[in-house]
Amino acid sequence: MFTISKAISSVKTRSALVPFITVGYPNLKATVELIYLLDKKGANAIELGIPYSDALADGIVIQESSRIALEQKIYIDQVLNLIQQVSPNLTVPIIVFTYYNPIVCRGIERFVKEISESGAKGLVVPDLPLEESDYLINLCSDYYIELILFVSPTSSENRIKSIISKAPGCIYLVSSCGVTGLRGSINYDIKELVKKIKRTTDKCVMLGFGISNEYQVSKLMSLQLNIDAIVMGSAFINKITDSLGDDNYENVGSFCEKIKSVIGTK
């Protein structure tokens, strides 16, 4: 079993928690501090976003964090160096989040080899065309990286089956159509889609895009969706923004602990 799937399936809570943060926001030193803090406060994996100027799947919160990181010249090399620095000291695996174009520009095999050597264990590419995914899937497998494929609420049944059959490990279920970001409400009708996926496969299902606060997590738990992991990005980025000017990021750690508490034990 791949490292990410193993980490998620072995949790003692009802779902794993996977916070997302942008590397370099607000700066590299803070990113290192935040990674260690999230590990300490109960994250089951940590998703690190490579700053990108054309992040079409991201909402304004994550786009702004990328803009600030890019102003500091945080690119792939800086991200790789950071992962190499922190990964030996973590108890949880790192997932790299990036878009397909930077991978192609870097060289697909070179990129996969480099993130593997840095210590990352998973890869998320939201705009990867399924029809072009075989080469990347095989490369990731060769380098022991778990490539996580996406299913959206608008995916047809046949497409869902194709995605599940290709997915080497976890499946990332998009909770709502559109970009990432905070929403006043989320699509609770995904329950039937989760059931459909779970009837087809025993692969771990991660739910993300638009999960904003403790109330929404509590509501998701009450629906007994049998989701293996919850991914939260914009909510954590906002907590980081709220801490700017403070001496520490304890409110980010407290938020992580609150979400873990709401998720609750099995």
Q: Which residues are catalytic?
A: 47, 58
For residue 36, give the nearest of 26, 27, 23, 46 by alpha carbon: 46
* Cα–Cα distance for residue pair 35/159, rounded to 1 Å: 35
Beta-sheet strands, E only, within the chain: 16-22, 46-49, 94-97, 122-124, 146-151, 171-174, 205-208, 229-232
Record the tokens describing residue 33, joined without a space: 């501090």
Quick check: helix, strand or coil at residue 229?
strand
For residue 167, give the nearest of 118, 195, 193, 128 by alpha carbon: 128
* Cα–Cα distance for residue pair 243/231, rounded to 1 Å: 21
Label residue 6 exposed, middle or buried (CB < 10 Å: 0-12, 13-18, 19+): middle
Quick check: helix, strand or coil at residue 171?
strand
Beta-carbon neighbour count of residue 224 at 10 Å?
Answer: 10
- Cis amide linkage into residue 26, ω under 30° from 0: yes
From residue 50, give the alpha-carbon distance in Å to each of 72, 78, 91, 197, 234.
13, 9, 21, 29, 15
